[in-house]
Amino acid sequence: MSSDATVTPVTGGFWEDTGKRGIASWIFSTDHKRIGLLYLYSVLGFFLVGVFLGVLIRLELMAPGPTIMTAKTYNAVFTVHGVVMIFLFIIPGIPASFGNLVMPIQIGARDVAFPRLNLLSWWLYAIGAVIVLTSLFTGGGAPDTGWTFYVPFSARTGTNVSLAVFGVFVLGFSSILTGVNFVTTIHRLRAEGMNWGRLPLFVWSLYATAWVQILATPIVAITLLMVIAERTLGVGLFDPSRGGDPVMYQHLFWIYSHPAVYIMILPAMGVISEVIPVFSRKPIFGYKMIAVSSVAIAAAGSVVWGHHMFTSGMSDTAVMVFSFLTFVVAIPSAIKVFNWVSTLYRGSISLEAPMLFALSFILLFSIGGLSGLILGAAATDIHVHDTHFVVGHFHYVMFGGTGFAFFAAAHYWLPKFYGRRYKEKPAIVAWALMFVGFNVMYFTMQVLGMKGMPRRYFDYLPEFARLNFVATVGSWILVTGLIIMLVNLWRGLLKGEPFEGNPWGGASLEWITATPPPTENFEEDPVVTHGPYDFKRAGEP
C-alpha cells in the first residue's frame, strides 16, 4: 500500500495527549507550544504579505517612471510593507513564536508563568492585526505616511492613518504582556539546578528583550495616541503654528522604535548562539560575555535613538552625544561576533541547513552592523541619511540578521515539535539562492544610497536605472529561494522522514524530552546537572 495515500499527520506529544482537536483546541489553548505555533503561523502569514508587497516595490523600481502602479499606490505599498514587516512579523517574530515554543522547555518549566495571559497576548496580536488590515480598505484607504508616521504629514494626509495607528497601539499591549510573562517565567520557573549561569543563551537574549518590550513599548503607544488626537481633535501637539513641535514627535517615536530594533535582533542573536555550538560540537566561546553583551545592548540601545535624527535640526550637542552612544552600542555586537567565530575554532563543524543559515547570519549581520558605523558617524550619516543606503543597511540587519536567524530556528527546532523533518538538499539549495539574491539586492541598494538615491522614491533619475534593475533581479532570486525553503519545510514537517531523539547532539533541555514534547514538556520535572553547551553530557538533564 502506498504511503502517500494515507498521509499521517503529526502525532504524539502535545498534538494529541489532551484529546482535544479542532480550531478551538488551538485558539483557546494555554499550552505555550500551541500558542507558539499560533504565533509562528500568524507571523509567517504576515511575512508573506510583506514579501509580496516588497516584490511589488522592487517591480515598480525596476525602471524609471511609472512601471506597474501610481505614485499614490506606491506610497501606500511601502508604508504597509513597513508596518506589516515591523509590527506584525519581526517584533513578535522570534520571541513570540520560537520563544514561546522553546524557552519554557529550555529552562525545564512546564509552561510560562501566566499561560492565560500568554493566550491573551496572542488574541491582542490577532485583534491588532485585524485593525491594521481593516485600515487598509476603509476610510481614506491604506496609510501613505511610511511606517514612521512622521508629523505633520501624518496629521494632514487623507488616508486612514488613525485606524492603522490604533491597530499598532493594540499590538503594543501584546508585546508588553509577552515581555512581562517571559521575565516572570525566567525568574520564577527555572528547574532545579538551572541557575543563571546554565541558562541557554537564547533564554538570556529573550530575557534582555523582554525588558526592552516592557520599558519601551508604552512610549510608542502614547505617541501613537497623540497622533490620533492630533488628527481627530486638532490638538496641535506637533504643529508649530500652535506651539507644538514636529521634531518632538520624532524623539518620542524613536525612543521606542530604536530599542525596538533590539527587540528584533537580540532573540536572533540568541538563536545563533544555540545553533553554532551544537553544529560545531564545541561549547560556546565566551558564554558570560555573550550573555552580558545581550543585556548591555538592551541597556545602551535604549539611549541611542537620536541617531535617526542627525539631519532633523536637533542641536549639534545632541548629535555629538547620540553619535558617541551609538558607537558604544557597536562594541557588544562586535564581541558577540568574535565569540561566535571563535566557537568554530577546533570544533567539528557540520554544514547542515540550520548551521548554514547561522553562519550566513554572522556575515550578513556584520555587513549590516559595519555599514551602521557609517550611519553612526555624524559627518558620513548626513550624506547617506534617508537614502537607499539606509534601506540596505537595515535590511541587512533585520532580514539578513533576524530573518536568517528565524529560518535557522525553523530548521533547527521545528522538526523537534513535528517529529518529522525536511529534506536537506532542497534546504541547502534554497539557502544558497536566498543568500545570493539577498546580497545582489541589498548591497546594490547601499551603492545606490552612496550615489545619492533617496529612499521612499517612486521614480528616479536615469543615472540610477541600471543598479535598480540589478536590485530587482536580486529580489527574484531571493524570492525563488524563499519559496523553495517554505515548500520544503511545509512538506517535510507534515510528511517527511521521522525525526527522533537528538540527531544533532544538543545539550540543552529540549533535547532530553520526547519528540514531540508532551503537553507539560517533561515526564517528570528535570533536575539540571550541567550547562547547555556541555556536549559530552548531552542526553543527561
Partner 1 sequence: MDNQLISTTQAVDPVFIFIFGACLVMLLGITAAMILFVVRYRRSRSPEPTSDRDGSLWLEIVWTLLPTLLVLAMFYYGWSGYLTLRTVPKGALQTKAVARMWAWSFQYENGKTSDKLYVPVGKPVQVNLESKDVIHGFFVPAFRIKRDVVPGMKNHVWFVASRPGSYDIYCSQYCGTGHSAMIGKVEAVPEAQFTAWLNEAKEEKEGDEGMAHEVFEKFGCLGCHSTDGSQKVGPTFKGLYGSKVNVTRGGKKETVTADDGYLTESIKTPAAAIVEGFPPIMPAPEGITDAQVKAVVEFIKGLK
> Among 45, 177, 157, which residue's Cα sits nearest to residue 117?
177
Beta bridge partners of residue 527, listed in sequence order = 192
Contact between 359 and partner 1 (CB under 8 A)? yes
Q: Which of 423, 455, 491, 530 binds partner 1 (CB under 8 A)?
A: 455
**What is the distance between the alpha carbons of residues 345 and 417, in angstroms, rounded to a whole number?**
31
Contact between 68 and partner 1 (CB under 8 A)? no
Contact between 460 and partner 1 (CB under 8 A)? yes
Q: Which stretch binds partner 1 (CB under 8 A): 31-39, 356-364, 430-438, 488-496?
A: 356-364
Residues 239-278, mask of contacts with partner 1 (x by CB under 8 A): -xx---xxx-------------------------------
**What is the distance between the alpha carbons of residues 329 and 372, in angstroms, rounded to a whole number?**
11
Nearer Cβ to partner 1 (225/373): 373
Nearer Cβ to partner 1 (106/154): 154
Nearer Cβ to partner 1 (48/318): 318
**What is the distance between the alpha carbons of residues 415 and 279, in angstroms, rounded to a whole number?**
16
Q: Which of 1, 23, 379, 524 binds partner 1 (CB under 8 A)?
A: 379
Nearer Cβ to partner 1 (25/312): 312
Contact between 146 and partner 1 (CB under 8 A)? yes
Contact between 462 and partner 1 (CB under 8 A)? no
Kindly identify the residues of this chain, within the stretch 151-170, that bind partner 1 according to CB under 8 A: 152-153, 156-158
Q: Which stretch binds partner 1 (CB under 8 A): 1-9, 188-196, 256-264, 364-372?
A: 364-372
Q: Shortest approach of partner 1 to residue 162 CB, angstroms?
A: 17
Q: Which of 44, 45, 127, 150 binds partner 1 (CB under 8 A)?
A: 150
Nearer Cβ to partner 1 (22/313): 313
Q: Which stretch binds partner 1 (CB under 8 A): 45-53, 127-135, 184-192, 362-370?
A: 362-370
The string over 103-137, giving b where at least 16 C-beta atoms fall within 10 Å of a residue's C-beta and e elsewhere, is: bbbbbbbbbbbbbeebbbbbebbbebbebbbebbe
Q: How many angstroms separate the Cα of 486 from the Cα of each of 7, 244, 290, 427, 429?
A: 19, 48, 31, 9, 12
**What is the distance between the alpha carbons of residues 289 and 339, in angstroms, rounded to a whole number?**
8
Q: What is the DSSP letter of 245?
A: -
Contact between 505 and partner 1 (CB under 8 A)? no
Q: Shortest approach of partner 1 to residue 439 CB, angstroms?
A: 12
Q: Which of 72, 116, 187, 425 binds partner 1 (CB under 8 A)?
A: 72
Q: For helices 287-300 and 201-233, give the axis angle rounded to 10 degrees.
A: 10
Count CB neighbours of 366 within 10 A: 18
Nearer Cβ to partner 1 (81/420): 81
**What is the distance between the alpha carbons of residues 145 and 154, in angstroms, rounded to a whole number?**
6
Q: How far does CA 89 lie from the centroid of its chain?
A: 7
Contact between 22 and partner 1 (CB under 8 A)? no
**What is the distance between the alpha carbons of residues 29 and 109, in angstroms, rounded to a whole number?**
17
> Among 361, 187, 213, 192, which residue's Cα sits nearest to residue 274?
361
Q: Which of 377, 432, 467, 470 binds partner 1 (CB under 8 A)?
A: 377
Nearer Cβ to partner 1 (363/486): 363
Q: Which of 452, 476, 483, 514 binds partner 1 (CB under 8 A)?
A: 452
**What is the distance between the alpha carbons of residues 209 and 405, in angstroms, rounded to a whole number?**
15
Contact between 428 and partner 1 (CB under 8 A)? no
Q: For helices 404-418 and 353-376, give the axis angle rounded to 10 degrees.
A: 150
Kindly identify the residues of this chain, within the stretch 271-330, that bind partner 1 according to CB under 8 A: 280-289, 310-313, 316, 319-320, 323-324, 327-328, 330
Residue 396: CA atoms inside 13 Å, Cβ hemisphere, count?
24
Nearer Cβ to partner 1 (92/332): 332
Q: Shortest approach of partner 1 to residue 417 CB, angstroms?
A: 26
**How many residues lie near partner 1 (CB under 8 A)?**
86
Residues 104-143, mask of contacts with partner 1 (x by CB under 8 A): ----------------------------------------
DSSP H or E stretch at residue 97:
none
Q: Do residues 95 and 263 make contact, with C-beta atoms less than 8 angstroms apart?
A: yes
Q: Which of 303, 341, 486, 514 binds partner 1 (CB under 8 A)?
A: 341
Q: Shortest approach of partner 1 to residue 484 CB, angstroms?
A: 23
Q: With the C-alpha atoms ordered 445, 336, 107, 112, is the resulting torsion angle positive or negative?
A: negative
Q: Which of 338, 527, 529, 537 binds partner 1 (CB under 8 A)?
A: 338
**What is the distance between the alpha carbons of residues 448 and 442, in angstroms, rounded to a whole number?**
10
Contacts of 362 (CB under 8 A, 6+ apart): 272, 337, 340, 341
Burial label for 536, CB within 10 Å (0-12, 13-18, 19+), is exposed
DSSP H or E stretch at residue 498:
strand 497-498
Q: Shortest approach of partner 1 to residue 422 CB, angstroms?
A: 20
Nearer Cβ to partner 1 (34/308): 308
Contact between 431 and partner 1 (CB under 8 A)? no
List the grid coordinates of 235. Answer: 490638538
